[in-house]
A = this chain, B = another copy of it.
């Protein structure tokens, strides 16, 4: 039934390549099938003005699609002079999720920015971003400990994310573009490796959904995300 022939619960092959570029303190290329996102974590001393003097650090994120990451070229946001609503919404989601993974007090007055730049898009760019960004963040924190900037690891738990949805009446995991653009419901789920929820964002694109469908989607998300945590661990060892 799925264009790719996958089963309802089957996620796409996931590849996590660390040290993809050489300058960032954490640099991860994550691939969910044909979706490819470069996640670069940058460490800087100090915190933004609104966080000063609290003895805590700050973690944030920026997200962007290269203009031709998609089937047809989109205008470059820098040329248009502003970031679109979708971009801002996604980067707020990534940043919130990453902050939920870290004890900001243990980070000290340091800032980590994770840039998620989509090289190629085929659905699920925000969930791939979160999953890859968490690995880049972990690498950046290791770098900080190696440099003696941090004494303990501020990570509270790893996080990962998956999109699920209702497509032709059936709940499926890890939607690719063809499915996503045609789904009745689309839901992004961010979880901790302790099995709890960080974000649940379900949207009825076509038809409203009921509690039964919601629970089916959450079940698929839970199982798929467990596989993502396996990939993260594999990559980090």
Contacts and interface: CB of A to CB of B under 8 A. Distances in A.
A67 B208 contact: no
A37 B34 CA distance: 20
A203 interface: yes
Interface stretch (A3-11, A19-27, A144-152): A19-27
20 contacts: A21-B120, A23-B68, A24-B73, A42-B73, A44-B72, A62-B67, A62-B76, A76-B115, A78-B83, A81-B82, A85-B91, A86-B92, A88-B88, A89-B92, A191-B208, A196-B209, A197-B210, A198-B203, A200-B202, A211-B218
Interface of A: 21-24, 27, 34, 36, 38, 40, 42, 44, 62, 64, 66-73, 76-79, 81-89, 91-92, 96, 100, 113, 115, 117, 119-121, 157, 187, 191-192, 194-204, 208-211, 214, 218
A71 B197 contact: no
A187 B214 CA distance: 15
B197 A202 contact: yes
B120 A23 contact: yes
Contact of A66 (B38, B69, B76, B208): B38
A96 B208 contact: no
Nearest to A40: B68
Contacts of A85: 88-89, 91-92
A79 B121 CA distance: 21
A21 B119 contact: yes
A44 B23 contact: no
A140 B198 CA distance: 38
A23 B209 contact: no
A219 to B, nearest CB: 9
B76 A64 contact: yes
Contacts of A78: 64, 76-78, 82-83, 87
Contacts of A208: 100, 157, 191-192, 194, 196-198
Nearest to A73: B42
B210 A204 contact: no
A208 to B, nearest CB: 3
A91 to B, nearest CB: 7
A203 to B, nearest CB: 6
